[in-house]
Chains A and B, each alone.
Chain A
Amino acid sequence: MVADITLKSISKKFKNNTALANINLTVRDKEFFVIFGPAGAGKTTLLNVIAGLYLPEYGNLYLNGVYFNYVEPEDRNIAMVFEDYALYPHFTVFENIASPLKSPKYKESKAVIEKEVTRVARILKIDHLLERNISELSNGQRQRVGLGRALVRTPNVFLMDEPITHLDAKLRHQMRAELKEMQKNLDTTTIYVTHDYLEALSLGDEIAILNEGKIEQIGTPDDIYFYPHNEFVASSFGEPEINFFDALVTDDKQLSIFEEAKIQDIPDIVKNKLDTSARSIRVGIRPKDIKYSFVKENDYSVECSVYSFEPLGAKAVLTVEKNGNQIRLVVPSILQMDMDQHVYIELDINKAMFFGPEKINLFSKFLKDAKGEVIWQS
């Protein structure tokens, strides 16, 4: 079964609030497509539009090139996992999972239902709960019942709305791996909504970043992580968050960060592409690309004072301060750091990203042909 989904200029409003504004995207057959965004970005609304639960005010939906704005949800052959489970409270676990196979649309014989439900329940490790009532389940178990109800049939598309957010960390990790495996085996197009960047990066074949109803970027996990289109995308991926600084480009095309003149040479590739008229620039650099030392090692070292030190097991997040900028970096947690202690940091400018005043990545337009060439981002 081929299932390509195309959304063209989809817009959706609730009263005067724009939930989705001009969404264009294509989900290719058998792809694991992740929609990523913060709370309130419109992710669930987008899923509901695809499921047929909301009618968009504007724009067209195509399934395999066929216009299907007005196809009823029950006729779309789409299976959805809801964030709040949306289980039938008056049914048992078995009846919940069996529900699609008993419906007039996807009716199966009793024997098939029995077999399929047991199979799915075994995968999700809820086979011992089949006779229970929904009220007797924990949240994690409910979420798996919700997953089971979707997985029990073979739809055109799976829609998953944060299906593993309510699981505890260990189970979530395990389910993440299993979902990936399952999708490979099922070979079915999946659209997956999440606000967890790790889920997005590990599961997605392609990721769309949604913010305030608009798409910020669509790309592979590598694209998103290494070549973010703008500061929003850059800051959404990575923990601790990427650091941004205001910087000035000097006359001889050197970079002045933290109001210290001529901090560093800009890589040639940047220099060549840099618009000479642009004087101020925003530099983004991930915490892992900043080195620290207790002594001044070279001219590029910047003296900072320790602002906070959070040990997180083997690693720790060190926040230092320099002229009002707070800079996060990752250090081994065995270090002893005191507040206001002086340390030196060195930015690996070859791995930095450069953003214009509008917070747009200055070089993202070159990225497609510059892959590999763009050494500072690899």
Chain B
Amino acid sequence: MKKKMIAILQNIALLLYAFYAIFPLVWLLILSFKHDSDMFNTTFIFTPTLENYRALFSDGEYIGYFLDNIIVSFGAIALSIVVGVPAAYALARFDFKGRDGIAFTFLSFRFAPEILVVLPLFLLYQELGLYDTYVGLIWVFQVLSLPLLIWILRGYFEDIPVEVENAARLDGYSWWQVFIKIVMPLIRPGLVASALLSLIFVWNNFTFSLLLAGQDVTTTTVAMLQYVASDTVHYGQMAGAVLIASLPIIILALSIQKHLVRGLSMGSVKG
């Protein structure tokens, strides 16, 4: 009887927390279906409308922003994987001078606040012609994603006994074949988890997108600003834009949830 009571209380507490946590999202969803006139009523009674979404997609601009965001984010993650996987492998496997120094340097990319480095970067980008280009944004975004990827994957590589690689060499596989066939599958949970986390960071980045791009390349986060006009704020359209912008991340996270939890909580090779 006592146990049952505790269980009920626990559930009530969890429900309260869930409501607390999800409420902003629900509110967002409701906003996106409201007319501007209904925006500030707090009674939850309104006539739903698709007007905001129609406005979002009417000129096709928002789709362009969305695609821009996809290009720079996935570009940055792809680049991070191509660079980060070998880097993490080298940091885990090879004993060279200054190894820990280099690993720490990678991590230190994340130390400075973005706002601190964005001005020098802005000047550099102007000079180099990288301002407002895909390459420019991808380049700066991989600085955000690369350290995370390297540090998570390094642990995964360290967890694979070197004997496993040696055994595969003696089984008749060349170094590259061992890497693709044996090592990569073993770090996959870590790769998936770290890639997704970095993707979230990059996808939602505002500072760099705002200050290093703007006209030709516009990400959804920056595009939100357009709904803040001088005379009025189009909360409904903004809410719709935010919802659509979060969809890819939500879908990705849900579809690889299993890897995400496992990937961050334990090493790949046990026993």
Is B2 part of the binding interface, using a Cβ–Cβ cutoff of 8 Å? no
Q: Is the CB of A86 within 8 A of B172?
A: no
**B167 interface neighbour in A86, A134, A135, Cβ under 8 Å:** A86
Is A84 part of the binding interface, using a Cβ–Cβ cutoff of 8 Å? yes
A-B Cβ contacts below 8 A, count? 69
Q: Is the CB of A100 within 8 A of B164?
A: no
**B270 interface neighbour in A87, A103, A104, A135, Cβ under 8 Å:** A135
Binary per-residue interface labels of chain B (162-180) against chain A in the complex, 1 for a CB within 8 Å, 0 otherwise: 0110111111111001000
Q: Is the CB of B163 within 8 A of A84?
A: yes
Measured as residues with beta carbon below 8 angstroms from the partner, the interface class of chain B is 20 to 34
**A86 interface neighbour in B164, B174, B186, Cβ under 8 Å:** B164
In the complex formed, the residue of A with least CB distance to B164 is A86
- The residues of B that contact A88 with a CB separation of less than 8 Å are 164, 167-168, 182
Is B101 part of the binding interface, using a Cβ–Cβ cutoff of 8 Å? no
Cα distance, A87 to B177, chains bound together (Å): 16
Cα distance, A90 to B168, chains bound together (Å): 13
Taking CB atoms and an 8 Å cut-off, the chain A residues in 96-139 that contact chain B are: 99-100, 103-106, 134-135
Q: Is the CB of B173 within 8 A of A78?
A: no
Taking CB atoms and an 8 Å cut-off, the chain B residues in 148-198 that contact chain A are: 161, 163-164, 166-174, 177, 182, 185-186
Is B256 part of the binding interface, using a Cβ–Cβ cutoff of 8 Å? no
Q: Is the CB of A90 within 8 A of B186?
A: yes
Min Cβ gap B254→A in Å is 25
Is B269 part of the binding interface, using a Cβ–Cβ cutoff of 8 Å? yes
A contacts with B: majority SS: loop
Cα distance, A76 to B166, chains bound together (Å): 13
Measured as residues with beta carbon below 8 angstroms from the partner, the interface class of chain A is 20 to 34
Min Cβ gap B161→A in Å is 6
Q: Is the CB of A103 within 8 A of B171?
A: yes
Is B113 part of the binding interface, using a Cβ–Cβ cutoff of 8 Å? no
Q: Is the CB of B163 within 8 A of A90?
A: no
Q: Is the CB of B177 within 8 A of A51?
A: no
Cα distance, A37 to B30, chains bound together (Å): 75
Q: Is the CB of A74 within 8 A of B164?
A: no
Min Cβ gap B163→A in Å is 4
Q: Is the CB of A106 within 8 A of B172?
A: yes
Cα distance, A90 to B183, chains bound together (Å): 10
- The residues of A that contact B169 with a CB separation of less than 8 Å are 52-53, 72-74
Is A80 part of the binding interface, using a Cβ–Cβ cutoff of 8 Å? yes
- The residues of B that contact A90 with a CB separation of less than 8 Å are 185-186
Q: Is the CB of A74 within 8 A of B173?
A: yes
- The residues of A that contact B120 with a CB separation of less than 8 Å are none
Knowing A89-B186, A89-B269, the reply to whether A104 touches B166 (Cβ < 8 A) is no
- The residues of B that contact A87 with a CB separation of less than 8 Å are 164, 167
Q: Is the CB of B166 within 8 A of A51?
A: yes
Q: Is the CB of B185 within 8 A of A103?
A: no
Q: Is the CB of A84 within 8 A of B170?
A: no
- The residues of B that contact A84 with a CB separation of less than 8 Å are 161, 163
Residue contacts A-B, CB under 8 angstroms, 7 given: A87-B167, A88-B164, A89-B269, A90-B185, A103-B171, A134-B271, A135-B271
Task: List the 8 shortest-distance A-B pairs measured between CB atoms, nearest first.
Answer: A105-B172, A103-B172, A86-B163, A86-B167, A73-B169, A100-B171, A106-B172, A82-B163
Q: Contact residues of B with A, CB < 8 Å? A: 161, 163-164, 166-174, 177, 182, 185-186, 268-271
Q: Contact residues of A with B, CB < 8 Å? A: 48, 51-53, 72-74, 76, 78-80, 82, 84, 86-90, 99-100, 103-106, 134-135, 149
